[in-house]
Amino acid sequence: MEHFREPVKTDCEELLARFQATESVRYEQFLEIWRDMNFSSIYYGKPEPSERRRFARLILSVVSPYFFPPYTFQIRVGGLFLLYGLFNSQLVTPREKIRVSLKDWKDVMQFQRDAVNAQHYDVVYIFRKLLTDKAFYFTAMPIPLFYREKKEDGRKMKICEEFVDPSSRPQELVTTDMLEEIANIHEHYEGLKKSVFAEPDPNLDLIQKNLVPKLNGAILTYSNWQWNRTESEQQDDEEGPSNQESSRRAQLLASIKSRSYGQAVEASKSRRHRQTQLVPAAEAEFSLKVTPKKKRKPSLKTRTQYRFNTQGNESEGLNVTRVWCMSAVKEEKAPEKRKKKFNWNPEKSSDPT
Amino acid sequence: MAEGSVLMHEDEQHENVPAFEFVNVNSTEFHIGTFRDLWLEVLNPEVYSHCATAPEVEDVEFIEEMGIEPKTLEELKHICGADSLKRGHEDPDSLPSDPHLSTLKLRKRRQDYKETLTRDTLDRHEVYANELEMISVGKKPESPGDLIPEGEMVLTFNIMYPVLFQRFKRVRAFQTVHVLGSQRLTELRDAICCVSDLQVFGEFSSTPDMVPQFISKDHYKSAFFFFNGTFFNDTRFPECRDISETTREWARSRGFPHFRTAKMEDASFYDLRMKVGFPYYYTHQGDCEHVLILTDIRLVHQDDCLDVKLYPLITHKHRVVTRKCSVCHLYISRWITSSDALAPTDPCLFCDQCFRMFHYDDEGNKLGDFLAYAYVDPGTFN
Ligand SMILES: [Zn+2]
Ligand SMILES: [Zn+2]
């Protein structure tokens, strides 16, 4: 069942990304995407014994984290709607429940208060519907624990960066309360100086007189700059490849990584030239999405191989790929020989490790 | 709740809200009873009640709290209804021919592959495990007095079998048991089935009818749980001895911190401080040691088995291949013989029928020389 975790995550993140793009928290918008993707069908298929139950359990546990911080309010709403949709579409009786831990419950309550205050009636309604339908297990921990750590857990639990607000530490630090406090202290300080010296002594002007307004201004400027930058980045993204394409590319990169320990091959100069623009962006993704654990840059060999493969795919010549990538050919033949065993992960199957 | 009391208990609250000690491995240690109280403090009792709230009451509450018109609520119900999630009339058993969702692509590939297989892939063990889990779901007690109270906690324990049998070395055999927070540790102890409790000691070739009375569980009643620095000894019977003594003595002589002891029958799970996902110990029959993991704690749900009498509830049991009689290859072995001239091997396993047929005449007189011991198959619990 664990093999389904990755594809389930991909599907849910696709739906959430589309919901994010609507810049809305309306259930109607969500429902439109849900129906367009025919998301209820995620449960379809000829079941093996107990498979449906185990799958329902898995998908609810994959989706739950999107309902909690650090995700943005909008993504959390999307996560809630997704839980609602999945809870109601599952094909087992009694239905599998959504697990909430005591630690996370205070976030859920804050979320509800925020939704009430912002008069997001549909959000509150859906949440309360889940409560009255007894859709939750009130637990100690978000998942059952077996004192067993799986190697891939780190990767699987990774936060989806696109769904998180850009960090705003300066803003968090300089709050209204904090500014008031500084203003008070500053006033007190000026008062003390006055009481000590009859005449104001310029030697004691160590701190700017308008400290608080200046600090406030600096934070505002930073905040504006950050916001503008994010906006322009988003515009860049929109001009670039779509989300779907980039995830496809990430998969491709993963497959390349697995087969790239073989031989180095020289590229023709013209191709090398054409590739220069594309590679850096893709490389960033390479280290971000495919090998989050390894901070190390991929080896020169890997990067070179990667360039070739992109090249091969781009110039619609599968044959081109094969010319230099012998291992790929072998790999494609291999499954035919060992026909009996199911290959869960065809893209990554030739990982030499 | 008054602001003051919240502050007063803040420390206690904080330390009893479970968090990860090691991510995805185990939780921090917390007091189970306090943890339960914390949940009950923050939840509206309707949320964990065994009954559904009347929809009209819900509606009125919602209208009042949100300050909306009844008309708005009707609209919300229409927009948010679960019916609109499903598209048309589709057959949930069949997959779309060209699915967009990655999950369905994988499932389709897997199903197509399975269809190429000739053998029947239905795993009987899995069916059985699932049956066991589902058999008690939603069960209500016959007498209302046996209904689990709302707000009770359910604890899930995985109990590993020790490597008594070489053939278990690779599979991690375990049994899964649900217990209630208010239950005593002894109730969990009595629910753990282990073959070493059924071992019969002694040689019985002259008196084969004498066997069933003496099983180890009745003879050697001592046992302990080791939770969080405390040995919980079973002292319900006069024959029980503190078998943790040896371990504690050993630890004392080597400068380990002092271990406490307590009575297993006096402690309920609410009295314990534990970590979820952390290995603990159960020892019985002197040296049969089981690793015990508390995998989950949660409030009881109305879909759970609600009959107190059925707890501790076994929801999973590892199935073992039973050893069949070496003569008929049909029945489960009950006897093991050695120095047996009539047997093809030494030692040799027999079912009760074959054993008696071979080794005794019609009057029940022993034929020839051999030693016979009772054999308890590990698969007995299947
Ligand atoms: Zn045992
Ligand atoms: Zn027999």
Positions in chain A short of pLDDT 50: 154-155, 237-296, 304, 307-338, 350-353
> Does residue A198 sit in the same domain as residue A211?
yes
Q: Which two tokens stand for residue A250?
A: 């990430």
> Does residue A105 sit in the same domain as residue A139?
yes
Q: Which residues contact A294 (CB under 8 A, 6 or more apart)?
A: A287
What span, in angstroms and rounded, lies between the C-alpha atoms of B70 and B64? Answer: 10
Question: Distances from the Cα of A125 to the Cαs of A77, A78, B73, B265, in angstroms?
Answer: 12, 14, 9, 47
How many other CB atoms are found less than 10 A from the CB of residue B86?
18
User: Relative to the alpha carbon of B163, which ligand is closest?
Assistant: 1
Phi, psi of A295 (to 5 degrees): -85, -20
User: Relative to the alpha carbon of B195, which ligand is closest?
Assistant: 1
By C-alpha distance, which of A234, A290, A229 is closest to A258?
A290
What span, in angstroms and rounded, lies between the C-alpha atoms of B65 and B46? Answer: 16
> Does residue A49 sit in the same domain as residue A31?
yes
> Are the CB atoms for B308 and B180 separated by under 8 Å?
yes
Q: Does B121 touch chain A (CB under 8 A)?
A: yes
Give the three-class secondary structure for B217: helix
Distance between Cα B275 and ligand 1 center (Å): 23
What span, in angstroms and rounded, lies between the C-alpha atoms of A13 and B164? Answer: 47
Q: Which two tokens stand for residue B260?
A: 């406490």
Domain total in chain A: 2
Residue B23: list chain A partners with CB under 8 A.
153, 157
Q: In chain B, which residue's Cα lies nearest the Cα of A126?
A: B80
Distance between Cα A21 and ligand 2 center (Å): 71
Q: Does A250 touch chain B (CB under 8 A)?
A: no
Q: Can you give the residue ranges of every domain in chain B?
A: 126-317, 335-381
Indicate whether this model's pTM tops 0.90.
Answer: no
User: Relative to the alpha carbon of B381, which ligand is closest?
Assistant: 1
Residue B105: list chain A partners with CB under 8 A.
7
Chain A: give the shortest CA distance to residue B254, in Å: 28
Strand partners, B22: B26
Residue B91: list chain A partners with CB under 8 A.
44
Q: Which residues contact A292 (CB under 8 A, 6 or more apart)?
A: A154, A155, A158
> Does residue A193 sit in the same domain as residue A160?
no
Distance between Cα B354 and ligand 2 center (Å): 4
- Cα B134 from chain centroid? 14
Note whether residue A293 is domain-resident: no
> Does residue A55 sit in the same domain as residue A191?
no
Q: Which residues contact B46 (CB under 8 A, 6 or more apart)?
A: A132, B53
Taking a contact as any Cβ pair under 8 Å apart, which residues of chain A between 258 and 297 contact chain B?
none
Report pLDDT digits (tens) over A97-156. 999 999 999 999 999 999 998 899 999 999 999 999 999 999 999 999 988 755 555 445
| DSSP label at residue A271 | H
Taking a contact as any Cβ pair under 8 Å apart, which residues of chain B between 80 and 119 contact chain A?
80, 82, 84-87, 90-96, 99-108, 110-111, 113-114, 116-117
> Does residue A142 sit in the same domain as residue A7?
yes
Check B27 against A85: CB less than 8 A apart: no
The pLDDT of residue B218 is 59
Q: Does A170 touch chain B (CB under 8 A)?
A: no
User: Relative to the alpha carbon of B335, which ligand is closest?
Assistant: 2
Sign of CA dihedral B359, B365, B368, B370: positive
How many other CB atoms are found less than 10 A from the CB of residue B127?
13
> Does residue A193 sit in the same domain as residue A104?
no
By C-alpha distance, which of A147, A212, A75 is closest to B275?
A147
Note whether residue A139 is domain-resident: yes
By C-alpha distance, which of B314, B320, B288, B317 is closest to B199?
B288
Q: Which residues contact B225 (CB under 8 A, 6 or more apart)?
A: B185, B188, B189, B231, B232, B264, B280, B281, B282, B292
Domain boundaries, position A131? 2-147+156-165
Check A44 against B104: CB less than 8 A apart: yes
How many other CB atoms are found less than 10 A from the CB of residue A146?
19
CATH of B126-317, one of 3.10.450, 3.30.70, 3.10.290, 3.30.1330: 3.10.290
Give me the total of CB pairs closer than 8 Å, taking one residue from chain A and one from chain B.
209
Distance between Cα B216 and ligand 1 center (Å): 11
Note whether residue A64 is domain-resident: yes
First to last CA, chain B: 51
Check B24 against A145: CB less than 8 A apart: yes
Question: Distances from the Cα of B33 to the Cαs of B44, B229, B267, B311, in angstroms?
Answer: 18, 18, 12, 18
User: Relative to the alpha carbon of B356, which ligand is closest?
Assistant: 2
> Does residue A35 sit in the same domain as residue A77?
yes
Phi, psi of B240 (to 5 degrees): -65, 135
Strand partners, A180: none
Q: In chain B, which residue's Cα lies nearest the Cα of A40?
A: B86
Q: Which two tokens stand for residue B342?
A: 């009539």
Q: Does B229 touch chain A (CB under 8 A)?
A: no
Q: Does A134 touch chain B (CB under 8 A)?
A: yes
The pLDDT of residue A17 is 96
Q: Which two tokens stand for residue A312?
A: 């091969």
Check A147 against B26: CB less than 8 A apart: yes
Q: Does B57 touch chain A (CB under 8 A)?
A: no
Check A46 against B126: CB less than 8 A apart: no
Q: Furthest-apart CA pair in chain A: how many Å?
A: 97
Residue B30: list chain A partners with CB under 8 A.
140
- Omega of the bond leading into B312 within 30 degrees of 0 (cis): yes
Chain A: give the shortest CA distance to residue B366, in Å: 50
Check A84 against B82: CB less than 8 A apart: yes
Per residue of chain B (382 residues), what is the pLDDT tens digit?
444 444 445 666 688 999 998 888 899 999 999 999 999 999 999 999 998 888 888 899 999 989 999 999 999 999 999 988 987 778 888 888 888 999 999 999 888 888 777 555 445 555 555 556 667 777 889 898 999 999 999 999 999 877 655 554 555 667 899 999 999 999 999 888 776 666 666 777 787 776 655 555 656 678 899 998 899 999 888 877 787 888 888 888 888 778 889 999 999 999 999 999 999 999 887 778 889 999 999 999 999 999 999 999 988 877 666 778 888 888 888 888 888 887 888 888 888 888 888 889 888 888 888 998 888 776 665 5
The pLDDT of residue A98 is 98
Q: Does B76 touch chain A (CB under 8 A)?
A: yes
Q: Which of A121, A131, A147 sits opposite B293 (nearest CB)?
A: A147
> Are the CB atoms for B126 and A53 separated by under 8 Å?
no
> Does residue A198 sit in the same domain as residue A221?
yes
Note whether residue A131 is domain-resident: yes
Note whether residue A242 is domain-resident: no
Relative orientation angle of helices B70-80 and A27-36, to the nearest 10 degrees: 20
Q: Does A138 touch chain B (CB under 8 A)?
A: yes
> Does residue A23 sit in the same domain as residue A161?
yes
Last residue of a domain, one of A182, A205, A232: A232
Q: Does A244 touch chain B (CB under 8 A)?
A: no
> Are the CB atoms for B372 and B350 separated by under 8 Å?
no
> Does residue A33 sit in the same domain as residue A50?
yes
Q: Does B54 touch chain A (CB under 8 A)?
A: no
The pLDDT of residue B116 is 78
- Omega of the bond leading into A70 within 30 degrees of 0 (cis): yes
Q: Is A307 left (phi over 0), alpha (psi -120 to 50) or beta?
A: alpha
Give the three-class secondary structure for A144: coil
Q: Which of B100, B116, B301 sits opposite A97 (nearest CB)?
A: B301
Q: Does A153 touch chain B (CB under 8 A)?
A: yes
Residue A41 exposed, middle or buried by CB count within 10 Å (0-12, 13-18, 19+) = buried
Residue A157: list chain B partners with CB under 8 A.
23-24
> Does residue A91 sit in the same domain as residue A118?
yes
User: Relative to the alpha carbon of B162, which ligand is closest?
Assistant: 1
Q: Does B74 touch chain A (CB under 8 A)?
A: no
